[in-house]
Amino acid sequence: MKYETVSTEEVVVWEKVAEVSEFPINGGLAFYYKGLQVAVFNFSRRGEWYATQNLCPHKKQMILSRGMIGSENGVPKVACPFHKKTFSLETGQNLNGSECGLATYPVRIEEGAVWVGFKE
């Protein structure tokens, strides 16, 4: 499988990531699914959840789940720990320029657990 943005309507499989309680406050966890690494973020301050590819598009490192989250003009974002490039958590867009962005995935909270949606 490739890293490709999945919209909620396209979801075929909802995969359980972990219990909500296992997540750090305002932080992320990585998650393995069919050869992909997905970073899932608990944005506690906004009461929101986001999922993106874990792979940084700049240096191809499996790292974004360890990135710091925050906002820029209200847009929720994650900063890559290696070179501090930032990406929108909503659209995956690279906020520092026009270079590659991230694939994003829908997240659902059910029965105290965190679920991420995939097309297959």
Partner 1 sequence: MKIVVIGNGMVSYKFCEKLVKKAGRLSAEVVVFGDESIPAYDRVHLSEYFEEQSAERLLMSPASWYEEQGISLRTGEMVTAIDRENQCVHTHKGHTESYDTLILATGSSAFVPKIEGMEKRGVFVYRKIEDLDQIISFGKNIRRAAVLGGGLLGLEAAKALLDMNLETQVIEFADRLMPRQLDVEGATLLKDKITDLGIEVLLSKNTQKIDGNGKLDQLHFTDGSSLQTDMLVISCGITPRIELAAGAGLETGRRGGFVVNEKMQTNDPKIYAIGEAASFNEMVYGLVAPGYEMADIVVDQLLGDETAVFDGADMSTKLKLIGVDVGSFGDAVGETPDCIPISFTDRIKGTYKRINISSDGKTLLGGILVGDADDYNMLHQFYKNGVALPPDPEDLILGARDGGSSSLGSIASLPVTSQICSCENVTKGQIEDAVKVDGIESVAEVVKCTKAGTGCGACKAMVADIVNDTMSSMGKVVRKVLCEHFDYTRQELFDLVKVTGIQTYDEFLDQYGSGDGCEVCKPALASIFASVYNDLITKQDTIQDTNDRFLANIQKGGSYSVVPRIPGGEITPDKLIVIGQVAKDYELYTKITGGQRIDLFGARIEDLPDIWERLINAGFESGHAYGKSLRTVKSCVGSTWCRYGLHDSVSFAISVENRYKGLRAPHKLKGAVSGCRRECAEAQGKDFGIIATEIGWNLYVGGNGGANPVHAKLLAGDIDEATVISYLDRFLMFYIKTAEPLNRTSVWLSKLDGGMDYLKSVIVEDSLGIGDQLEAEMQQLIDVYKCEWTEVVNNPELRKKFTHFSNRLVGDPNMKFDQMRGQKVPANWG
Q: Which two tokens stand for residue 68?
A: 């710091």
In whole angstroms, the minimum distance from the beta carbon of 16 to partner 1 comes to 8
By the criterion CB under 8 A, which residues form the site for partner 1? 16-18, 22, 24-27, 29-32, 37, 40, 43, 45-46, 58-63, 66-74, 76-77, 79, 81-82, 84, 86, 97
Q: Give ∠ CA 69-95-103 in degrees, rounded to 5.
A: 75
Closer of 12 and 25 to partner 1 (Cβ): 25
| Bridge pairing between strands 68-72 and 75-79 | antiparallel
Closer of 73 and 111 to partner 1 (Cβ): 73
DSSP symbol at 24? P
